Structure 1
Amino acid sequence: MASCIYFCDSKGRSILSRRYRDDISPSAIEKFPSLLVDSEQESNVIPPCLTHNGIQYLFIQHNDLYVLTMTRSLSVNVAQVFAFLYKLVDVLAEYVKTVEEESIRDNFVIIYELLDEMMDYGIPQITETKMLKQYITQKSFKLIKSAKKSKNVMRPPSQLTKSVSWRPEGITYKKNEAFLDVIESINMLITAQGQVLRSEILGTVKVKSHLSGMPDLKLGLNDKGIFTSDGNASQVDSSTQKRSNIELEDLKFHQCVRLSKFENEKIITFIPPDGDFELMNYRLSTPIKPLIWCDVKIQVHSKSRIEIHCRAKAQIKKKSTANNVEILIPIPDDADSPKFKYSHGSVKWVPEKSAIIWKLKSFPGGKEYSMAAQLGLPSISDLEIPKAKRPVQVKFQIPYFTTSGIQVRYLKINEPKLQYQSYPWVRYITESGDDYTIRTA
């Protein structure tokens, strides 16, 4: 996959390197600084892949560092390369806290050890931080030696000799619990007339495992257009599944999930890592109606003041309630002297964002609230007509609700040796994504 790993400073000069193959000359890294400069001069934006003399320079930028790998192969899995580079930075952060030029120079011994364990001949090997910490310590920067009398014998951690590499043995809890959160983020682009131009659901199933021993969990989900009888899933690659008018574009599992069991029976079985982890995530591009709809009208009076009327409606079931709703309405940069009238919540003028923010702590389904604002426009000229070109942004969170209809039918926990009583907890949350916006009239 990769011939080498380099850590370079902000100018692209090598600080530390580990070579796995000899197909690329060590002098190739000397060209990297000039490639960065040429690329920045051409487009002002440096792409994550540069090519020179048949060598592909693939890199990410983190703080004042470039983390770089090189390859001559055109068939390399680029997504896997970047996933490894980002994972490498995450692992280093667990050891050196802040990954930057100074910390790389100060901790080169432990970084070399990690590079040797995480990749072999350019192929990723161990990337689980919990397992690496079993035998690479932060304080001594040396491998932990075997407890036997022979001091020169190095033993791999027990996780390397078993199929369950992500979970050590001997974990114990006084109270055995598993918490499962189904979180769906909604991104939408809506016209001023209420037409949905784009919508998607980004779903994540998060697990917090506080379970003793080596438990085996079985998770059953409903089949309302989410999974099909002939669908496939992959831990690395995306898959496409269709049923009715719902299209599941991406479905990815944590490595602990037994994929063959899921493909055959649509049941998710796994031995969980200890603590917090993402069990699965998915994406749905499907037409859905706005959950929180805002009708915003902006009027200019005598070119000296602007008036804004906002009517917000919670278009969710009456038994559901949206919490911590924030409606950010853009206003002209020079608007001032605001006056507000509103039926519920609180309204605040935020001049640094050129916006007013209407906050509703609780917004029950089916309810409709209104707000009016009037602001002065001191710098208006006869040739200018103020217009807020930016869309309205909406944030919200709806507990006990999923837009896709995904539901957990059961979560069974079995520890064959300990046979303890366990307590599974399931929670559903739907929230606004990073791009839930409504255009203004």
Structure 2
Amino acid sequence: MGYGPSGVYILDMKGKTIIHRAYRRDAPASTTVSDRFTRLVLEAEEENIKPVFLHNDINYMWIRYNNLFIVGTSALNANAMMVFAFLYKLAEVLTHYFRELEEESIKDNFVVTYELLDEMIDNGYPQTTEYKVLREYIKSESHRLQQEEEQQAVVPISVSNAVSWRSEGIKYKKNEVFLDVIERLNLLVASNGNVLRSEILGVLKMRTLLSGMPELKLGLNDKLLFEATGRQTRGKAIELEDIKFHQCVRLARFENDRTISFIPPDGEFELMSYRLNTHVKPLIWVESRVEHLSSSKLELVVKAKSQFKTRSIANNVQILIPVPNDAASPNFKTTIGLVKYDPTQDSIVWTLKQFQGQKEYMLRASFTLPSVASEDRNRFQKIPIRLIFEIPYFTVSGIQVRYLKIIEKSGYQALPWVRYITQNGDYQIRML
């Protein structure tokens, strides 16, 4: 597993330490960190700057946040990913407390920052890192340190038990769970329709409004689950890759029988993310051709076809078609949507509020060109067409939530709501 940071240091843009906390004896002095960081990062050549570096047997790991550098150090075999995860979590928590995390907000809140540094890490090991739990007993408004005899009473149970991300005593009049399955499609397609690259990046986002300490169980149409349990599936089973879970998920249970079991945080959080490298045909296919290109005129014909099922509708579709950088006097003809010329992007932007499945539309565009052609006038045909869209109630991968069970000792009934959304990622179609 490795060690966490032996010390955490927050530096200004000149490399001077604003505040620091040493957690183990191997933590270097703040002046040493400031000196090393200034020489090896701020004054170094750009190609030599690294997020992790070793100097005099001390490992330095750092991130930049606004006008601050947040640095973690360790002389031992530190787990770099753990350190970086903590540094980003620290920045997130401080932002919650101060609204804006910057040099002035740290200088105005030394007491609270020290309290948070003490509570969030112990002997180099991250402890409580959830803002909703920390705010129960570290109040940014009051900055008051409580007496030793009072402290035992105010520390919430969630800090001492295994569920540090959720407080006890949460109550709602109406218990509900909202689950969004969002997939982004990265796609690169050649002008002849051959898919050169396709990748699906998925995320499951939840919003839980549940009383007590509920146990949730989520079932997906996971191919490995069906294979492990010997069950048959009527529909499509998918094989998820690069799965990452929120800390609330019981990893041992998942590795054992692919069951996603967890006690959720209160409110919004990201339950899991995944990736799929799979061949996907373009959901929206666009082709363009130059019908007339002379020294004084350009005419383009653009066809857009939706290749998903008729019952689905893509919303807020934008098709960005490149044109020469010296084009002028735009003129457009289309039976649907709005078209505008965006000279800042050297593109036509064709906007369709709704694009139903299995439909095809056409756009004709003409421009005048200066009689003296620029050297790179034809370069626009080498720039790919880009698309922006969102398709609700639809997933590219075919992932399905088979069940979402909510169990709580009081026995209340809760309503789960599930939505599916597909969005564009880096979606490009080549013109040539």
Same fold (TM over 0.5): yes
Alpha-carbon contact 1:119-1:125 (below 8 Å) kept: yes
Q: How far apart, in 1, do the equivalents of 2:347 and 2:138 lie? A: 51
1:240-279 equivalence runs, <5 A: 248-279=240-271
Query: CA separation in 2, counterparts of 1:217 and 1:22?
Result: 42
Give the SS at the match of 2:321: strand
Per-residue deviation at 1:24? 4.6
Give the partner amino acid of 1:91.
V
User: Does the 8 Å CA contact 1:137/1:144 hold for their aligned counterparts?
Assistant: no
Change (3 A) 1:230 1:18: farther
What are the Cα deviations for residues 239-296 of structure 1, in whole angstroms up to 9, with x where unaligned? xxxxx99753311111222233333333322221111111111111111111111112
Mapping of residues 37-436 of structure 1, within 5 Å: 37-39=42-44, 41-43=45-47, 46-73=49-76, 75-143=77-145, 150-151=149-150, 156-223=155-222, 225=223, 227=225, 229=227, 248-298=240-290, 301-378=293-370, 380-381=372-373, 385-388=377-380, 389-417=382-410, 419-433=411-425, 435-436=426-427
- For residues 390 and 147 of structure 2, the distance between their equivalents in structure 1, rounded to whole angstroms, comes to 50
Unaligned runs of 5+ in 2: 230-235
Alpha-carbon contact 1:248-1:285 (below 8 Å) kept: no
Q: Could you list the per-position Cα deviations for residues 351-404 of structure 1 after superposition, in whole angstroms to 9, with x for gaps in the alignment? A: 222211111111111111111211222274385543214321111111111111
Letter in 2 for 1:440: M
In the TM superposition, residue 120 of structure 1 has moved relative to its aligned partner by: 1.4
* 1:56 to 1:210, Cα distance in 2 relative to 1, 3 A: same
Tell which deviates more after alignment, 256-265 or 124-133.
Answer: 256-265
Cα distance between partner residues in 2 of 1:176 and 1:377? 63
Amino acid at match of 2:94: L
Q: Match for residue 32 of structure 2?
A: 28
Q: Provide the C-alpha distance between the structure 2 equivalents of 1:292 and 1:257, rounded to a whole number of angstroms.
A: 36
Partner of 2:429: 438
For residue 241 of structure 1, what is the aligned residue in structure 2? none
How far apart in 2 are the matches of 1:284 and 1:380?
Answer: 48
**Letter of the 2:387 counterpart:** V
- Residue in structure 1 matched with residue 232 of structure 2 by the alignment: none
**CA shift for structure 1 position 36:** 2.2
Q: Closer, same or farther in 2 for the Cα pair 1:284/1:380, shift >3 Å?
A: farther
> Cα 1:328–1:425, aligned 2, differ >3 Å: closer, same or farther?
same
Counterparts of 1:171 and 1:382, CA distance in 2: 67
Query: Structure 1 residues 112 and 33 mapped into 2: Cα distance closer, same or farther (>3 Å)?
Result: same
**Could you tell me whether the CA contact under 8 Å between 2:225 and 2:257 is conserved in 1?**
no
From the superposition, tell whether residues 278 and 52 of structure 1 become closer, same or farther in structure 2 (CA, over 3 Å).
same
350-359 or 98-107, which moves further after superposition? 350-359
**Distance change >3 Å, CA 126–CA 384, structure 1 → 2:** closer
Deviation digits for residues 99-154 of structure 1 (CA, Å, limit 9, x no counterpart): 001111111111111111111122211111111111111111235669xxx55766
Provide the rounded CA distance (Å) in 2 between the counterparts of 1:219 and 1:262: 11
SS in 2 for 1:352: coil
Cα distance per residue 1:45-89 (max 9 Å; x no partner): 84323443343321111111111112334x432222211111110
SS in 2 for 1:282: strand
3-state SS, counterpart of residue 276 of structure 1: strand
Which deviates the most, 88-97 or 169-178?
A: 169-178
Cα root mean square deviation, aligned: 2.4
Q: Aligned partner of 1:414: which letter?
A: I
Q: Paired residue for 1:17?
A: 20
Asked if 2 retains the 8 angstrom alpha-carbon contact of 1:131 and 1:159, the reply is: yes
Q: Alpha-carbon deviation of 1:178? A: 0.9
Separation in structure 1 between the aligned mates of residue 36 and residue 49 of structure 2, nearest angstrom: 15
| Distance (whole Å) between structure 2 residues aligned to residue 14 and residue 352 of structure 1 | 42
Aligned counterparts of 2:266 and 2:81: Cα–Cα separation in 1: 27
Q: 1:270 to 1:82 in 2, by over 3 A?
A: same
Check conservation: 2:295, 2:371, Cα contact below 8 A: no
Q: What is the CA–CA distance in structure 2 between the aligned matches of 1:152 and 1:7, rounded to whole Å?
A: 27
CA distance in 2, matches of 1:184, 1:194: 22
Aligned length: 420
Normalization by structure 2: what TM-score? 0.90
SS of the equivalent of 1:102 reads helix
Indicate if the aligned counterparts of 1:135 and 1:144 stay in contact, CA closer than 8 A. Answer: no
Give the equivalent residue in structure 2 for 1:238. none
Query: Identity rate of aligned residues, in percent?
Result: 51
Name stretches of at least 5 consecutive residues in structure 1 with no aligned partner.
232-243
Amino acid at match of 2:13: S
- Match of 2:344, SS state, is helix
Q: Quick one: distance in 2 between partners of 1:245 and 1:199? A: 19
Paired with 1:414 and 1:316, the residues of 2 have a C-alpha distance of: 37
1:144-191 CA-to-partner distances (Å, cap 9, x unmatched) read 669xxx557665321123222222122222211111111111111111
Aligned partner of 1:31: which letter? Answer: R
